Amino acid sequence: MAYAINFNVMNPGRERSPVAPLADVAIGLTGVTKRYQRGKGLLTAVSEVTLSVPPGQVIGLLGPNGAGKTTTIKMICGLVLPTAGTITLNGYDVARQRAGAVRQIGAVLEGSRNVYWPLSAWQNLMYFGRLKGLRAVAIRPRAERLLTELGLWERRHESVGSFSRGMQQKVAIAAALITDPPVLLLDEPTIGLDVAAARTVKDWIARLAADEGKTVLLTTHQLGVAQELASRIAVIRDGKIIADLPTGELLSRYAEDRFEIRTRKIPNGLRPGVLPAGGRIEHGAEATRILLPGAGQADLYRVLDGLRAAGSQLISVSQARPGLEDIFLRLIRDGEEGPGAVRATAAERVA
Amino acid sequence: MTAITAPRPGAQGVLGPALRAVGTEAGKGLALMWRRRAITITGIALNGLLYLMIQFFIGGGHLVLPVLALTLPALIAYIVAATAALQGSGGIAEEVNAGTLEQVHLSPARPSLLAAGRLAALAAEGLIPAIVLALAFGLGYRPHWAISPDALVPLALTIADALGYGLLMTALTLRLASIGAVVHVFNMAVMFLGGLFVPITLFPHGIEIFARFVPTALGVEVLNTTLAGRGLAAAWADGTLPWLLAHVAVLAALGWLAYLHTLRRARREGGLSAR
Ligand SMILES: Nc1ncnc2c1ncn2[C@@H]1O[C@H](COP(=O)(O)OP(=O)(O)OP(=O)(O)O)[C@@H](O)[C@H]1O
Ligand SMILES: [Mg+2]
């Protein structure tokens, strides 16, 4: 909740919904847990997730395979029933006010076509618009705009099955947007797209958020996509949120300058005491990487001297800043920072 | 950013949106059918040929008109039932695999309305080839039928029976991985025991009793009674009509409830899509 307050402080002009009692929160999850039946036992796919996304924010939900991203998105859609916890969409309780809640969202779900391939793009948009309760007169101009913007207008009457993968994904996103819902849920929206198609989709998502104020929750395994689009990143592992920070903060928290030394094998090994605190050695097939986070010049020279003494052959010395990928891998691998450490505290956020 | 409001009940009525939801689903079903019309047309031709061959075979190389008059209603019932089961089950399996079933259930409309729309499309998909073949054989061979309004009752009940069966198979698709084989076996049962080869009244007594439990068989029997010029009263008196009513009520209710139940269950466990 503190996050939402912070957001509104930064965007005081943001319009509030006249209908929804909790419109400060576009997507709200409180203590959401999902246990699936797995054989005779239960599998906890999502565990006590609490998340509050203010209107207009783009949040990236990252995590390894099986972390619970898709389950979370489907629970938000009302397509999977949580075992415990509550979910609201612009104040509508997904479990108890389903009709109101699903009107708030458009979703593109993972690994599926999402739209009818035998039908044309136009038929799909008309169908999904009607399905969500719009009349044809209201759908037509919107469908025309969406298809034109996506460069599909000329081919609107061809079956979606005959389109390229990128075009099909564009139709799926257009179908999700046909009712102009305030909240978009995108489960791996750029999966399987070539560079150009992914670019179009990314630009479009960015524009929807920036110009139309849509709230977007997206999952992706392409960390660059998250870094580019999301202003906030939540990392989920084994069903639990282990990090939840504004993207910039997540990056800067780990962005302490550090040195990276690459050498060939170290025949005699490094003498003890050469490696400064926090330094670590990673042996690769072609080279050995020595990482010195937060190390000063003196530390660096000490290690280099140590390497010479050990008879090692130097390949390169560089100053590295960890990207989102490094941070992500660190979080996923050791999760050494508990949720408390990685989540901004309420005081920090409001400050 | 504004939330999209839920419609206020009463403001635009309840019936309008409900009918539109049913119409939308039915319309989609018909649009998808149109895309695969080549299959529908081939199906009509094959079923017609198969039926003719069976009739020639039974007549020892001749078409026996009285037998045709008694078995043609079974052909029509079989086509409605088999199409509803095949297309219902295949259609939902395809939607599960394509992920469109999930998108459909992001609709604010109630699942029962969407189910009604799906059923309407299935009915049309089964009835169109049935009507084509009924007209072709009916006008081609002019069987001696006493067509009276009485016949409409068993006709409607038989169609309801066939659709109940189709809906039950559709529901089972969400639970059984091997549904394709199940539908195939049941469709064969409807074909052999539903009176498509010979009227079930000519079956040995034990098999006749068993056959009456098969979808559409009782309906065809009552339909034949009325088409033979004996009214509904006769069908009521010989017990076939009351049994037909019971059969339709049970099968239709079973199909409807099973469909809504499996959908609800799938929605709980994420079973609306393939993983
Ligand atoms: N319908 C289901 N029934 C049973 N178990 C499920 C179901 N859906 C997901 N799971 C399990 O729940 C866990 C979380 O799966 P989920 O699909 O949410 O992960 P994910 O983060 O989306 O992974 P990925 O990156 O591979 O898409 C996994 O262990 C998965 O096997
Ligand atoms: Mg997933």
* Min Cα–Cα distance to chain A from B164, Å: 24
Element at A186 (helix H, strand E): strand A183-187
Q: Is residue A76 part of a domain?
A: yes
Residue that wins the pLDDT comparison between A92 and A348:
A92
Residue with tokens 């009485």: B150
pLDDT at B108: 93
State pTM to two decimals: 0.82
Nearest protein CA to atom 4 of ligand 1, as residue: A36
One domain, residues A191 and A282: no
Is residue A19 less than 8 Å (CB to CB) from chain B? Answer: yes
One domain, residues A15 and A70: yes
SS3 content of chain A, % helix, strand, coil (to 5): 40, 25, 35
**In chain A, which residues have their Cβ closer than 8 Å to the Cβ of B99?**
109, 111-114
pLDDT at A340: 41
Domains of chain B, by residue range, sit at 65-269
Alpha helices in B142-272 (DSSP H): 152-173, 179-193, 205-211, 217-227, 232-237, 240-269
Can you say whether the dihedral through the CA atoms of B17, B22, B28, B34 is positive or negative?
Answer: negative
pLDDT mean across residues, chain A: 84
Residue A74 and residue A79: Cα distance in Å, rounded? 5
Task: Mark the ranges of chain B whose per-residue pLDDT is less than 50.
Answer: 1, 7-11
Write out pLDDT tens, residues A183-211. 999 999 988 888 888 898 899 899 999 99
What confidence tier does A343 reach under pLDDT thresholds 50, 70, 90?
low
pLDDT at A256: 59
Residue A53 and residue A244: Cα distance in Å, rounded? 11
pLDDT at A254: 62
CA of residue A221 to ligand 2 center, whole Å: 9
CA of residue A81 to ligand 2 center, whole Å: 16
High-pLDDT (> 70) share of chain A, %: 86
Please give the residue of chain B at the shortest CA–CA distance from A37. Answer: B269
One domain, residues A271 and A313: yes
CA of residue A95 to ligand 1 center, whole Å: 21
Which of B87, B100, B267 should be substituted to probe chain A, the one whose Cβ sees the most A Cβ atoms within 10 Å? B100
Is residue A74 less than 8 Å (CB to CB) from chain B? Answer: yes
Can you say whether the dihedral through the CA atoms of A102, A105, A110, A111 is positive or negative?
Answer: positive
Nearest protein CA to atom 27 of ligand 1, as residue: A65
Write out pLDDT tens, residues B113-137. 999 999 999 999 999 999 999 999 9
Residue A124 and residue A329: Cα distance in Å, rounded? 40
C-alpha count within 13 angstroms, C-beta hemisphere, residue B254: 15
Q: Is residue A140 part of a domain?
A: no
One domain, residues A336 and A287: no
Q: Is residue A213 part of a domain?
A: yes
Residue A61 and residue A221: Cα distance in Å, rounded? 9
Binary contact (B4, A37; C-beta < 8 A) = no
The total number of structural domains in chain A stands at 2
To test the ligand 1 pocket, which listed residue (A33, A69, A75, A235) has its Cβ within 8 A of the most ligand atoms? A69
Residues 97-116 (A) with a CB less than 8 A from some CB of B: 97-100, 102-105, 107, 109, 111-116
CA of residue A70 to ligand 1 center, whole Å: 7
* Chain pair A-B, CB pairs under 8 angstroms: 136
**In chain B, which residues have their Cβ closer than 8 Å to the Cβ of A121?**
none
Cβ(B21)–Cβ(B107) under 8 Å? yes
| pLDDT > 50? residue A2 | no
pLDDT at A20: 44
Please give the residue of chain A at the shortest CA–CA distance from B36. Answer: A118
pLDDT at A267: 77
Binary contact (B4, A103; C-beta < 8 A) = yes
**In chain A, which residues have their Cβ closer than 8 Å to the Cβ of B274?**
112
Q: Residue A343 belongs to what domain range?
A: 2-116+181-252+328-350
Mean pLDDT over A63-78 rounds to 94
For ligand 1, whether the C-beta of A71 sits within 6 Å is yes
Q: Is residue A162 part of a domain?
A: no
pLDDT at B89: 95
* Min Cα–Cα distance to chain B from A32, Å: 14
Most confident of A6-15, A118-127, A299-308: A118-127
* Min Cα–Cα distance to chain A from B42, Å: 19
Nearest Cα neighbor of A218 from A78, A89, A109, A128 is A109
pLDDT at A347: 36
**In chain B, which residues have their Cβ closer than 8 Å to the Cβ of A56?**
1
One domain, residues A311 and A338: no
What confidence tier does A283 reach under pLDDT thresholds 50, 70, 90?
confident
pLDDT at B3: 58
| pLDDT > 70? residue A9 | no
* Min Cα–Cα distance to chain A from B268, Å: 5
Cα A316 to the center of its chain, rounded Å: 34
Q: Is residue A151 part of a domain?
A: no
Mean pLDDT over A99-109 rounds to 94
One domain, residues A189 and A313: no
Q: Which ligand is nearest to the CA of A236?
A: 1
Residue A145 and residue A174: Cα distance in Å, rounded? 10
CA of residue A67 to ligand 1 center, whole Å: 7
Task: From the CA of B269, give the closest atom in ligand 1.
Answer: 1
Nearest protein CA to atom 11 of ligand 1, as residue: A45
Cβ(A105)–Cβ(A184) under 8 Å? yes
One domain, residues A313 and A341: no
One domain, residues A94 and A50: yes
One domain, residues A73 and A108: yes
One domain, residues A201 and A313: no
pLDDT at A255: 57
One domain, residues A26 and A10: yes
A316: which residues sit within 8 A by CB, 6+ positions away? A261, A262
How buried is A14 (Cβ within 10 angstroms: 0-12 exposed, 13-18 middle, 19+ buried)? middle
One domain, residues A204 and A309: no
Nearest-CB residue to A102 (from B1, B100, B108): B108
CA distances from B7 to B24, B32, B36 (A): 18, 30, 36
Write out pLDDT tens, residues A291-339. 887 777 888 899 999 999 888 889 999 877 667 777 777 777 765 444 4
